[in-house]
Amino acid sequence: MWMTYRIWLLLGASAGIYATLGSEAALAQDAARCDIVLEGATVFTGTGFETRDLAVSNGRFVTHVPEGAERLNAARWTILPPLADVHTHMIDEPRPSGARSHSDYLDQGIYFVLNPNNIRFDDALPTSHETVDGSYTGGGLTGAGGHPRPLYEQLVDWGVYPMSKEELAGRAYHEVSNEADARAAVAEVKRQGASHIKLYLTHHEQPDSTGLTAKNFRHAVHFAREAGLHPVVHVNSRADFRLAAEAGVHAMVHMPGAWPRGEDPERLMITAEDAAIAAQNEVFVVPTLAVGFNALFGEELEAARGIWRHNLSLLMAAGVRIAAGADRGGATALSELDILHSTGLYSGAELIEIGTTNGIELAFPERDVGRIAPGQEASFIVMRFNPEGSWYGWRNVLGGMREGQTIRGDIFPEACAP
Query: At 255, which CATH number?
Result: 3.20.20.140
Using DSSP, state whether 104 is helix, strand or coil.
helix
Q: Does residue 14 sit within a domain?
A: no
Q: Does residue 89 sit within a domain?
A: no
CB atoms within 10 A of CB 46: 14
Q: Does residue 163 sit within a domain?
A: yes
Which residues contact residue 80 at a Cβ distance below 8 angstroms, ignoring those fewer than 6 apart?
A: 44, 352, 356, 372, 380, 381, 383, 387
Q: Does residue 157 sit within a domain?
A: yes
Q: Does residue 283 sit within a domain?
A: yes
Q: Does residue 36 sit within a domain?
A: no
Tell which phi-psi region holds residue 248, choosing left (phi > 0), alpha (psi between -120 and 50) or beta.
left
Using DSSP, state whether 208 is helix, strand or coil.
coil
> Exposure of 97 by Cβ count < 10 A (0-12 exposed, 13-18 middle, 19+ buried)?
exposed
CA distance 325 to 5: 13
User: Domain containing 192: what range?
Assistant: 5-9+138-363
Number of structural domains found in the chain: 1
Give the pLDDT of the chain (418 residues) as one tens digit per residue.
443 434 333 333 333 333 333 444 444 444 458 999 999 999 999 999 999 999 999 999 999 988 999 999 999 999 999 999 999 999 987 777 666 789 999 999 999 999 999 998 877 788 899 999 999 999 999 999 999 999 999 999 999 988 999 999 999 999 999 999 999 999 999 999 999 999 999 999 999 999 999 999 999 999 999 999 999 999 999 999 999 999 999 999 999 999 999 999 999 999 999 999 999 999 999 999 999 999 999 999 999 999 999 999 999 999 999 999 999 999 999 999 999 999 999 999 999 999 999 999 999 999 999 999 999 999 999 999 999 999 999 999 999 999 999 999 999 999 999 9
Question: Considering the entire predicted model, what is its pTM?
Answer: 0.92
SS3 content of the chain, % helix, strand, coil (to 5): 35, 20, 45
Q: Does residue 369 sit within a domain?
A: no
Q: Does residue 110 sit within a domain?
A: no
